[in-house]
Every structure is written in C-alpha cells, then in structure tokens.
C-alpha cells in the first residue's frame, strides 16, 4: 500500500479483497451441494456495501502505532467489515427490516428461493441467520490467516473476544429495551455497546494492538473511538427518521414500527407533555404505519427540539473525539486521517 492516505483507493482495495474472499467461500459451499446456490449468492452480496469505515479505523490504529501499510494488515482490517456484515444480517432479522442499501435484506431476498415451501418466511429467516453466523466465523478466519505474524495476532486476540461479547450484549440490551418507555440513559448505553465500540473503538484498538502500541496511546485511541462511535450512531438515529429513504436505503418507518430505543425517540419522550406522550404511544409499535404517521412524529420531534438536541450531542462527541487526538502521541499523518474520518463518519446523508 502507498503511504499517502487515499480513502477511495482504500475502499476499492477492501472491496476487491472481500469480493475475492467471499467468492472463494461461496464456491466451497457449492462443492457441498448445488442446492446451496441461493445461500452462496447471498453470502457474496452481504458484504458488498458500505464506506469501509471499520477497516479504515483498524488500518489507522495500526498506523498510529507507528507501523507502515501492508497487504497483510489490509486483510486483517477487512475482517472488520465481515463482522459488520454479520451484525447487519442479524439486526435485519431481529427487526424484520425489508431494506438495506436500497435492496431487499438477506432474509427477504432468500424468501424467493423458498417459493411454495411450508413456513417459507421462517425458513428464509433461518437461512439468513446462518449466513450471518458464517460471516462472523469468516471474519475470524480472514483475520487469523491475514499473514501477520502470530505474535502480532496474539496481542489482539483478547480484543476480538471483547468485540464479539459486547456486540452481542448491545444487541440483547436493545431487544430488552424495545417496547419499554424510552429512556435516554438506556438508549446511549445501547448505542455504546451495539454500535460505537465495534464500529470505531475496537477496530482502532485491534489495529493498535497488532502494531504493539503503548497503553497510553491505546487509551487515547479508545477515548477517541467511543466518542466518535456514539456520534456515528446518533447520526444514524437522525437519518433513520429524517433522512431520505432513497439516500439511506432503509425504510424510514422501521424505528417507529419496531419501537427501537433510539436516543432521538428517548429525547422526544423525555421532553413531551402527557398528551404528546399519549399520541406518541399510540403510534409506536404499530404495523400499519404510513407516511402521515411519519410526518406527524417528525413534526412532534421538531416541536420538542429533539433533533437539535441530538445534533448538539453529535457535535460535542466529534469535538471530544478530535480533542483526544490532539493530546495523544500520534504520528501527524494518522492524526490527520483520523480527524478526516471523524467528519466523514458523522457528516453524512446515508
């Protein structure tokens, strides 16, 4: 890899690497039986989208530790994207989401392979769940077979265990909080464990651990990563309800229909008067929501200034993240790249 940071070029290299890796895994499935064709196809589709932020954070954790770019590190960093692919497949099943990146989610796409089968919807969800499980296993395989020295990989292994445990814990917390009265404190905890840590902090720390970074540097990167990861998910919360569905590629009513414990919803609930809460309670969790319901909830949220409060939190979290970079002993190129990534991750429309 070149020393100059080229985000588009980096993304292209990660895309190419993952396409090749998953194509090989799809072929191995087909060696078992041709009936696995729909599963093999969806395995390849599952990781084709995204900005490759998680891979980039892993890469810059490595570079912050003073190491040069390498093909082996690129493979290790790309494994973070398979973790993300696994998490989104499982998340879409749990929420029964119909769209991601403007395309049918895996469990919806697999339904077409089960026409006229008994309990086809349940079977499609089961297939998608197994694809998600396989993606998580493949993430570990790609990481351990990256070509990095075994001693380097051993330094990062405990963080891998933390990543898997805390990602599952965050997902479980969200499920347990879904349907309860919205609570900002609970919402922020879900954000931290379900998204913030595995999106920014843990990939960054895995890269730093691989590089042999000092404890002091890892602590600074952790503080940057947690603040930025929370800002990233807060932006997702806003886009989920106020973004253009054609840009976000997700169904705009999903958060309301699933009654997800988002920070935006929690702040709206906290600020609402009793009559407004009653109106909101009558909308949350309904399966027959339409555009008018969405417009009504948006209007209520704007009236209560909940979106602005979330925007203020995003701004504060990004500032906090960047401040940690400026006080850390980080090479200038890594500092510049991580500052740019902080804004890329939060100044977005999808």
Residue 156 belongs to a domain with what CATH number? 1.10.600.10
The confidence score (pLDDT) of residue 162 equals 96
Q: Which two tokens stand for residue 33?
A: 């039986």
Give 257-302 pLDDT, tens digit per residue. 888 889 999 999 999 999 999 999 999 888 888 989 999 999 999 9
Tokens of 82: 């398979």
Is 2 contained in some domain? no
* Alpha-carbon Rg for the chain in angstroms: 21
Residue 1 lies in a domain: no
Long-range contacts of 32-41 (CB under 8 A, 24+ apart): 38/110, 38/112, 38/113, 38/127, 39/110, 39/127, 39/130, 39/131
Q: Inform me whether the pLDDT recorded for 336 exceeds 50.
A: yes
Q: Could you give the number of structural domains in the chain?
A: 1
Find the mean pLDDT for residues 212-226.
Answer: 97
Q: Counting Cβ atoms within 10 Å, is residue 113 exposed (0-12), middle (13-18) or buried (19+)?
A: middle
- Answer whether 0.85 is exceeded by the pTM: yes
Look at 252 and 238; give whichever has higher pLDDT. Answer: 238
Any bridge partners for residue 100, and if so which?
Answer: 103
For residue 158, the number of C-alpha atoms closer than 13 Å in the C-beta half-sphere is 4
Q: Residue 202 pLDDT > 50, yes or no?
A: yes
What does the pLDDT look like over 58-69, one tens digit per residue? Answer: 999 999 999 999
pLDDT band at 248 (very low <50, low <70, confident <90, very high): low
How many residues would you count in the chain?
350
115 located within any domain: yes
In a domain, residue 159? The reply is yes
Higher pLDDT, 254 or 38: 38
Nearest residue to 306 via CA among 221, 254, 241: 241
Is residue 157 within 8 A of residue 243, CB to CB? The reply is no
Q: Which domain holds residue 178?
A: 7-346
Residue 138: pLDDT over 60: yes
Report pLDDT for 1.
Answer: 43
Q: Is residue 101 part of a domain?
A: yes
Above 70 in pLDDT, residue 216?
yes
Q: What pLDDT sits at residue 246?
A: 72
Distance of CA 70 to the CA centre of its chain: 25
């Amino acid at each position: 890899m070149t020393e100059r940071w080229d985000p588009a070029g980096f993304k292209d290299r990660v895309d190419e690497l993952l396409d090749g890796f998953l194509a090989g895994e799809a072929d191995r499935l087909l060696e078992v039986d041709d009936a696995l064709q729909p599963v093999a196809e969806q395995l390849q589709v599952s990781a084709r989208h995204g900005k490759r932020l998680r891979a980039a954070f892993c890469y810059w954790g490595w570079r912050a530790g003073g190491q040069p770019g390498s093909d082996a590190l690129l493979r290790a960093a790309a494994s973070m994207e398979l973790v993300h692919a696994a998490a989104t497949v499982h998340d879409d099943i749990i929420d029964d989401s119909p769209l991601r990146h403007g395309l049918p989610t895996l469990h919806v796409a697999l339904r077409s392979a089960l026409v006229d089968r008994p309990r086809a919807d349940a079977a499609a969800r089961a297939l998608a769940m197994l694809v998600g499980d396989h993606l998580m296993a493949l993430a570990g395989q790609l990481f351990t077979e990256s070509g990095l020295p075994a001693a380097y990989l051993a330094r990062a292994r405990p963080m891998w265990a933390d990543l898997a445990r805390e990602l599952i814990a965050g997902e479980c917390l969200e499920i347990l909080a879904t349907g309860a009265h919205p609570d900002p404190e609970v919402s922020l905890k879900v954000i931290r464990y379900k998204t913030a840590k595995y999106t920014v902090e843990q990939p960054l720390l895995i890269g730093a651990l691989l590089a042999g970074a000092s404890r002091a540097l890892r602590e600074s990167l952790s503080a940057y990563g947690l603040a930025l990861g929370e800002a990233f998910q807060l932006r997702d919360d806003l886009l989920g309800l106020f973004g253009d569905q054609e840009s976000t590629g997700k169904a705009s009513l999903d958060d309301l229909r699933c009654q997800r414990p988002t920070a935006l919803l929690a702040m709206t609930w906290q600020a609402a008067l009793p009559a407004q809460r009653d109106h909101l309670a009558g909308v949350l969790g309904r399966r027959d929501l339409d555009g008018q319901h969405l417009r009504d909830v948006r209007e209520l949220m704007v009236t209560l200034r909940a979106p602005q409060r979330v925007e203020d939190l995003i701004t504060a979290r990004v500032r906090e993240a960047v401040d940690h970079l400026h006080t850390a002993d980080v090479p200038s190129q890594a500092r510049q790249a991580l500052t740019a990534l902080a804004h890329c991750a939060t100044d977005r429309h999808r």
